[in-house]
């Protein structure tokens, strides 16, 4: 394909983009012509293979003169030379900076991705229950703020949904890297009369208690594979009826029953108010099968996430990936680092082992800041994403857990969890300390608060920050005791209260 296209016309329209995420989605997709979308779909497919297939990536980089042949041999309908900044020096990002006047197809693609990222940001904002549930809204905000400090840039990709509903117990796929260490599939929640009634009541309770935006942020899987449940699409239809939109489906079994996958995709094609589905790609063979079964246009808004061993993506070291007896996480990590450093596969074995990102655990794939519900076991947990650790090996914290037999129990659990775990301000008489992932360090260049990815200079922040941080790092004192000591040191009460309030709002206090 050699069509030269100007970048998408959105910026030129002058109209303010809609704030509602689904309206924004409609706006930015309809602003592209069919020809533009056709090209975007083919660039997307090209990138799926670049990201998934190391052999292809390296061949493009090492033999750029063969790029057209390498691309067409794989059935890809793009002119790779129109997209050179994506691959010429080795793949690093899906939105490289470049002179888009010189690379108009790349400009078209990058503007598309930026609109998707903006849409993602709007989904995060839409999930806020706001004044209807103020304590929860503040708590969710603190969880997101904490992860800005604890997870760093990867936190931008988390939209903090408020509900996740599991419709099975366990998962049939058994991925070695399963971040949530899903057990083997044991049971599914069938759509019989009693279950359908309970399901609808649970959805309605979530909607009543948290409001529409938060209810719409939910989705119907977690440590489960949606297609394991033969009635998944019926449950999804109920979700749409109660919440007025279709929530996202992520499946790692897109090729297991293509007819099921087509039925699922058809639901999303018919619904404008929908968070589009995703395919987890477990092998290059699976990616080839996905590409054979579904055209680039059919998958324009279906994200394919390359989880296969040859992928460029790093996996979080959580759940089963952190405890894999074959240590595949380390092998993949080493392979990706070597590729980043410009070494070929052949040179891999001779390289010294690079330092690991984390000795035991690291990262997270969790997203929910709210309620994780298992409909088979009738359990509910209040959870939030965190840096995986020995204490939280699945990459999420469990703040509270309970069981329900009916919607009244479920409602009571939510109300109790808000009352017990979401104080609107820092409780003054209970001992307070920093989250375990936060360290207070002294000395040069001065006292700092540090996570694995960020540091905060305390002297520059204000005179009360360092002494307050030191006491919060040691733990054992309540905020009112800390305030007393700060005032003994000559700090004003206002300054002392402001510092403690700031750490609380940053979500760093346990
Ligand atoms: S990663 Fe997903 S598909 Fe794989 S075992 Fe875990 S829950 Fe199942």
Return the domain boundaries, the chain: 10-119, 127-421, 439-505
Q: Going along 359-506, which residue ranges are E strands?
A: 370-374, 379-385, 396-403, 439-441, 448-450, 455-457
Q: For the stretch 213-248, what's the b/e string if a residue is b when 16 or more beta carbons lie within 10 angstroms of its beta carbon?
A: bbbbbbbbbbbbbbbbbebbbebbeebbebbebbbb
Q: How far is the CA of 361 from the centre of ligand 1 (A)?
A: 18
Distance CA 362, CA 316 (A): 6
φ, ψ for residue 79 (rounded to 5)? -95, 105
Distance CA 75, CA 218 (A): 37
pTM: 0.93
Which residues are CB-neighbours of 144 under 8 A, at least 6 positions away? 124, 155, 158, 160, 369, 507
Distances (CA, A) of 446 to 52, 236, 243, 452: 44, 54, 51, 18
Q: How far is the CA of 391 from the centre of ligand 1 (A)?
A: 21
Report the interhelical angle of 34-52 vs 54-62 (nearest 10°).
Answer: 100
DSSP 469: H
Report the nearest atom of ligand 1 relative to the CA of 222.
Answer: 7
Distance CA 14, CA 180 (A): 44
Q: How far is the CA of 121 from the centre of ligand 1 (A)?
A: 26
Query: What pLDDT, on a 0 to 100 scale, did the predictor assign at position 2?
Result: 39
Instruction: Please tell me if the CB atom of residue 228 comes closer than 6 angstroms to any atom of ligand 1.
Output: no
The answer to whether residues 20 and 124 touch, using CB atoms and an 8 Å cutoff, is: no
The answer to whether residues 310 and 254 touch, using CB atoms and an 8 Å cutoff, is: no
Instruction: Please tell me if the CB atom of residue 282 comes closer than 6 angstroms to any atom of ligand 1.
Output: no
Instruction: Please tell me if the CB atom of residue 164 comes closer than 6 angstroms to any atom of ligand 1.
Output: no
- Mutate-to-test residue for ligand 1 from 184, 222, 252, highest number of ligand atoms within 8 A of CB: 252
Distance CA 488, CA 482 (A): 10
Distance CA 241, CA 260 (A): 21
Task: Sort strands 163-166 and 370-374 into parallel, antiparallel or unpaired.
Answer: parallel
Instruction: Please tell me if the CB atom of residue 252 comes closer than 6 angstroms to any atom of ligand 1.
Output: yes
Q: How far is the CA of 150 from the centre of ligand 1 (A)?
A: 25
Of 330, 348, 331, the closest CA to residue 339 belongs to 348
Query: What pLDDT, on a 0 to 100 scale, did the predictor assign at position 444?
Result: 82
φ, ψ for residue 181 (rounded to 5)? 45, 50
Distance CA 485, CA 126 (A): 41
Of 118, 163, 166, the closest CA to residue 374 belongs to 166
Alpha-carbon dihedral 249, 250, 254, 260, rounded to 10 degrees: -20
Would you write out the chain's pLDDT as a tens digit for each of its 510 residues? Answer: 334 454 444 444 567 888 999 999 999 999 999 999 999 999 999 999 999 999 999 999 999 999 999 999 999 999 999 999 999 999 999 999 999 999 999 999 999 999 999 999 999 999 999 999 999 999 999 999 999 999 999 999 999 999 999 999 999 999 999 999 999 999 999 999 999 999 999 999 999 999 999 999 999 999 999 999 999 999 999 999 999 999 999 999 999 999 999 999 999 999 999 999 999 999 999 999 999 999 999 999 999 999 999 999 999 999 999 999 999 999 999 988 888 887 544 434 334 444 444 457 889 999 999 999 999 999 999 999 999 999 999 999 999 999 999 999 999 999 999 999 999 999 999 999 999 999 999 978 899 999 999 999 999 999 999 999 999 999 999 999 999 999 999 999 999 999 999 999 999 998
- Mutate-to-test residue for ligand 1 from 182, 319, 393, highest number of ligand atoms within 8 A of CB: 182
Distance CA 178, CA 366 (A): 11
Let me know how long the chain is. Answer: 510
Distance CA 162, CA 129 (A): 9
Residue 192 token pair: 């019989």
Query: What pLDDT, on a 0 to 100 scale, did the predictor assign at position 510?
Result: 85
Query: What pLDDT, on a 0 to 100 scale, did the predictor assign at position 341?
Result: 81
Of 378, 382, 381, 383, the closest CA to residue 404 belongs to 378
Residue 246 token pair: 């279709």
Instruction: Please tell me if the CB atom of residue 394 comes closer than 6 angstroms to any atom of ligand 1.
Output: no
Instruction: Please tell me if the CB atom of residue 188 comes closer than 6 angstroms to any atom of ligand 1.
Output: no
- Mutate-to-test residue for ligand 1 from 225, 324, 366, highest number of ligand atoms within 8 A of CB: 225
Cα of 462 vs its chain's centroid, Å: 34
The answer to whether residues 32 and 8 touch, using CB atoms and an 8 Å cutoff, is: yes
Which residues are CB-neighbours of 261 under 8 A, at least 6 positions away? 227, 251, 254, 255, 293, 294
Cis link prior to 445 (omega < 30° from 0)? yes
Q: Which residue has the tokens 């400009």?
A: 107
Task: Sort strands 396-403 and 455-457 into parallel, antiparallel or unpaired.
Answer: unpaired
Instruction: Please tell me if the CB atom of residue 281 comes closer than 6 angstroms to any atom of ligand 1.
Output: no
The answer to whether residues 372 and 166 touch, using CB atoms and an 8 Å cutoff, is: yes
Report the nearest atom of ligand 1 relative to the CA of 282.
Answer: 4
Protein residue closest via CA to atom 1 of ligand 1 = 178
Report the interhelical angle of 193-210 vs 407-421 (nearest 10°).
Answer: 30
Q: Which CATH number fits domain 127-421: 3.40.50, 3.20.20, 1.10.540, 3.30.420?
A: 3.20.20
Report the nearest atom of ligand 1 relative to the CA of 280.
Answer: 3
Instruction: Please tell me if the CB atom of residue 223 comes closer than 6 angstroms to any atom of ligand 1.
Output: yes
């Amino acid at each position: 394909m050699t069509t030269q296209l100007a970048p998408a016309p959105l910026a030129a329209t002058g109209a303010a983009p809609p704030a509602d995420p689904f309206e924004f989605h409609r706006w930015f997709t309809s602003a592209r012509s069919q020809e533009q979308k056709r090209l975007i779909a083919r660039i997307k497919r090209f990138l799926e293979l670049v990201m998934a297939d190391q052999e292809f990536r390296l061949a493009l980089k090492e033999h750029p003169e063969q790029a057209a042949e390498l691309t067409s041999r794989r059935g890809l309908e793009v002119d790779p030379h129109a997209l050179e900044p994506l691959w010429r020096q080795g793949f690093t990002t899906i939105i490289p900076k470049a002179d888009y006047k010189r690379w108009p197809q790349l400009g078209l693609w990058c503007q598309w991705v930026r609109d998707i990222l903006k849409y993602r940001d709007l989904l995060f904002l839409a999930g806020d229950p706001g004044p209807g549930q103020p304590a929860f809204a503040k708590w969710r905000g603190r969880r997101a703020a904490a992860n800005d400090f604890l997870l760093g840039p990867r936190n931008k990709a988390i939209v903090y949904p408020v509900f996740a509903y599991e419709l099975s117990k366990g998962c049939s796929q058994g991925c070695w890297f399963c971040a949530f260490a899903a057990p083997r599939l044991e049971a599914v929640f069938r759509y019989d009369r009693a279950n359908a009634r309970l399901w609808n009541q649970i959805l309605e309770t979530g909607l009543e208690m948290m409001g529409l935006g938060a209810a719409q942020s939910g989705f119907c899987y977690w440590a489960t594979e949606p297609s394991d449940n033969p009635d998944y699409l019926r449950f999804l239809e109920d979700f749409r009826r109660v919440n007025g939109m279709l929530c996202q489906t992520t499946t790692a079994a897109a090729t297991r029953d293509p007819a099921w996958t087509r039925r699922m995709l058809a639901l999303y094609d018919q619904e404008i108010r929908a968070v589009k589905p995703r395919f987890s790609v477990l092998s290059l063979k699976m990616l080839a099968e996905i590409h054979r079964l579904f055209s680039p246009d059919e998958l324009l808004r279906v994200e394919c996430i390359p989880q296969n061993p040859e992928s460029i993506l790093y996996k979080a070291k959580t759940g089963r990936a952190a405890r894999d007896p074959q240590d595949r996480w380390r092998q993949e990590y080493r392979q990706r680092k070597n590729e980043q450093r410009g070494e070929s596969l052949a040179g891999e074995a001779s390289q010294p082992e690079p330092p690991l990102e984390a000795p035991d655990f690291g990262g997270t794939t969790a997203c929910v800041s709210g309620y994780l519900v298992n409909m088979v076991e009738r359990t509910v947990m209040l959870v939030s994403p965190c840096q995986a650790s020995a204490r939280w090996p699945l990459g999420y914290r469990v703040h509270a857990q309970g069981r329900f037999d009916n919607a009244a129990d479920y409602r009571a659990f939510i109300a109790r969890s808000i009352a017990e775990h979401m104080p609107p301000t820092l409780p003054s008489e209970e001992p307070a300390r920093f989250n375990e992932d936060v360290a207070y360090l002294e000395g040069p260049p001065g006292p700092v608060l540090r996570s694995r990815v960020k540091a905060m200079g305390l002297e520059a922040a204000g005179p009360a920050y360092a002494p307050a941080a030191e006491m919060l790092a040691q733990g054992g004192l309540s905020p009112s005791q800390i305030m007393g000591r700060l005032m003994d040191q000559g700090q004003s009460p206002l300054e002392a209260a402001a510092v403690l309030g700031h750490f609380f709002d940053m979500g760093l206090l346990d």
